[in-house]
Structure 1
C-alpha cells in the first residue's frame, strides 16, 4: 500500500489554504490562545528547561514531569463542531511561528486495512515510520488522526475483533516510541466518541480538549460574518440566534457549525435563488426546517 493510501493529507506548513479556512473558523482564536503554550511545551521540551534556568537559576523538578508527557492531545465533541479544522489551523499557526521545517500529515482510516491478519498493525507501523522519517532530526510533524475511535478502539470487553485489538496495541506502542523524539512529532487525535477510545490512549493524552456546539455568541458571530449585507435588525438577529440554538423545553439541541453552514444557510439561499433576495423571514423558516444533527452518544 502506498503512502498516498496511508495519509489523506501530507503537506508542508505553513499552508495558505489552511490559513484561509482557519480565518473563517468561529471561536478559533480563543481556543488557540488557550492551548498554544501547552502545545509549544510538548513540541520544545528543551525550551522549557532553558526557561527554568533563566527564570529560576536551575531546572525545576516540574520540568522533568512536563518533558515526560506524551506528545499527544485529544480533541473530542459532536460531529461538525470543528475539531479537525481547528487541529489543522493550530498546526499551521504554530508552524508559521517556529524556525523548524514542519509538515502536516493526516492519517487515513484506510490503515485499518481489509481485515487480513496483521495488516492493520503493519499499515499503522509503516505510517508512523513515514512520520518519523518526515520529522528527521530537526523538523516538526503534526500528525492528525481523524475519526480516532476507528483505529484506537477500546480493548476492554469482548466485542473488538482480534485484528482491531492488535491495531490498537500497535498504535499505543508507536505513540510510546515518539515520546523519545523530544517533541519532533505532535499527535492530535480527533474523535466524536471519547468513550470509545482505549483507556490507555486517553491516559497518555497530555491534554483533552472538548468541542461543544456553538454558543449563542458564536452563532451570532457566524451570522454577522456570513449574512453581512442581508437586511436584518438586531431583534431579527437575536431571534435567528434563538431559533438555531437549544430549546430544553422542546427537547431540542442546538445546531452544530456544520449544520449551520452546510444545511441551514444553503437551504435558505436555495429558497430564493436566483430570483429573490434573502430575507429574515426566509432565514427563520429555513431554521425551523433544519433539524440539528443528533448528539453522538
Structure 2
C-alpha cells in the first residue's frame, strides 16, 4: 500500500465546493458558532504568548497550560447526522476566515486498517500522520478528518479487543500527542457513531466533544422547505412529510442522510422520466421506507 492510498482525499483549503456544501447543512451556522471560539483558539495556540503580552503586558502562566491541550476534536452521534461533512466544512471555513491559503485537509481512508498483517495498522497510521505533519511544515496548517473513528480507536479494555487494535489505539494516541508540537497548525477531527466505544484516553484528550442528533420535527421541516423549493408544496404537505418521517410505532425518526440519499432519489425515480416530481411520490416513498436503525451507544 502506498502512502497515497491511506487517504480518501487531500483537499487544499479554502475550497469552493466545501463552501457551497456548508449551505446545504441544516443548522451549520448555529453549530459553527457554538464551537468557533474554542476551535479558533485551538488552531492558534502559537499566538497565545503574543496575545498575552499585548493585553496583559506579560505572558500569563495560563498560556502554557492552555497551549498544552491536545489538538483533537471529537464529533459523535447517530449515523447519517452529518458529522464528517460538518467537520470538513468547519475546517474549510476556519481556513477561509484565517486567510490561510496553504492549508490542506486530509480525510483518512478505512484502508488504513490494512490487510491484517502483524503491525500493519500501526505502521499505516504512523505513515498517515507523518504525511500530515510534513504537509504542515514550519508555517502551513493541516487538518486530518478520521471517519468511523471507533473502528480505529476502540477501548483497549474491551474483551474482544484484538492485539492489532490495541496497537492501533496506542499509535493513534501517540501520534496525537506528538502533533501538539505544531501549536495548533495540525488538528485532528475524529468522527464516531459510538462515543462510549472510544478509548477513554482519547476522550480525555479531546479539546472539543460535540454531539450530533437526528433532526427534530422543526429541523426536518426546514430541510424539506429548503430542499424541495420549486415544487410548490403547501405548508400542509410539508407538515405531512415531517410527520411521516418522524418517530412512530417503535421506529426512530429519519436522519438527514435517510432523507437526502434514500427518500429523494426513490421519489424522483417514480416520476422520472415521464412525470413531474410531486408530493404523492415523496409521501408514498416516505410511508414505505424504514429509517436507518439507531446505532446503539453502549
Mark yes or no: TM-score above 0.5.
Answer: yes
Q: How many residues align?
A: 295
Query: Do structure 1's residue 130 and structure 2's residue 135 form an aligned pair?
Result: no
- Equivalent residue number for residue 35 of structure 1: 35
Q: Deviations over 1:93-123 (max 9, x none)?
A: 1111224420001111212111211111111
Q: 1:241 to 1:133 in 2, by over 3 A?
A: same
Contact 2:46 2:184 in 1 (8 A): no
Contact 2:52 2:60 in 1 (8 A): yes
Contact 2:82 2:212 in 1 (8 A): yes
Bigger drift between 209-218 and 279-288 goes to 279-288
- Equivalent residue number for residue 72 of structure 2: 72
| 1:131-146 correspondence to structure 2 within 5 Å | 131-146=132-147
Q: 1:231 to 1:99 in 2, by over 3 A?
A: closer
Contact 1:231 1:279 in 2 (8 A): no
The Cα shift of 1:147 comes to: 1.0
- Equivalent residue number for residue 283 of structure 1: 282
- Equivalent residue number for residue 294 of structure 1: 293
| 1:26-105 correspondence to structure 2 within 5 Å | 26-100=26-100, 101-105=102-106
Q: Tell me, in whole angstroms, the C-alpha distance in 1 between the residues paired with 2:231 and 2:56.
A: 56
The Cα shift of 1:58 comes to: 4.0
Bigger drift between 132-141 and 19-28 goes to 19-28
| 1:240-255 correspondence to structure 2 within 5 Å | 240-247=241-248, 250-255=249-254
- Equivalent residue number for residue 267 of structure 1: 266
What TM-score do the two structures reach when normalised by structure 2? 0.94
Q: Tell me, in whole angstroms, the C-alpha distance in 1 between the residues paired with 2:216 and 2:20.
A: 23
The Cα shift of 1:124 comes to: 0.9
Q: Tell me, in whole angstroms, the C-alpha distance in 1 between the residues paired with 2:184 and 2:48.
A: 12
- Equivalent residue number for residue 231 of structure 2: 230
Unaligned runs of 5+ in 1: none
Q: Deviations over 1:102-156 (max 9, x none)?
A: 0001111212111211111111111111111000001100100111111111100
Contact 1:84 1:146 in 2 (8 A): yes
What TM-score do the two structures reach when normalised by structure 1? 0.94
Bigger drift between 267-276 and 31-40 goes to 267-276
Unaligned runs of 5+ in 2: none
Contact 1:6 1:110 in 2 (8 A): yes
- Equivalent residue number for residue 257 of structure 1: 256
Q: 1:276 to 1:190 in 2, by over 3 A?
A: same
Q: Deviations over 1:10-49 (max 9, x none)?
A: 1211112222222211111111111111111111013344
The Cα shift of 1:176 comes to: 0.6
Q: Tell me, in whole angstroms, the C-alpha distance in 2 between the residues paired with 1:26 and 1:224.
A: 11
Contact 1:80 1:256 in 2 (8 A): yes
Q: Tell me, in whole angstroms, the C-alpha distance in 2 between the residues paired with 1:139 and 1:244.
A: 45
The Cα shift of 1:276 comes to: 2.3
The Cα shift of 1:60 comes to: 4.1
1:96 partner SS? helix
The Cα shift of 1:55 comes to: 3.7
Contact 1:231 1:280 in 2 (8 A): no
- Equivalent residue number for residue 106 of structure 1: 107
Q: 1:216 to 1:52 in 2, by over 3 A?
A: farther
- Equivalent residue number for residue 120 of structure 1: 121
Aligned-residue CA RMSD in angstroms? Answer: 1.6
Q: Tell me, in whole angstroms, the C-alpha distance in 2 between the residues paired with 1:55 and 1:126.
A: 41
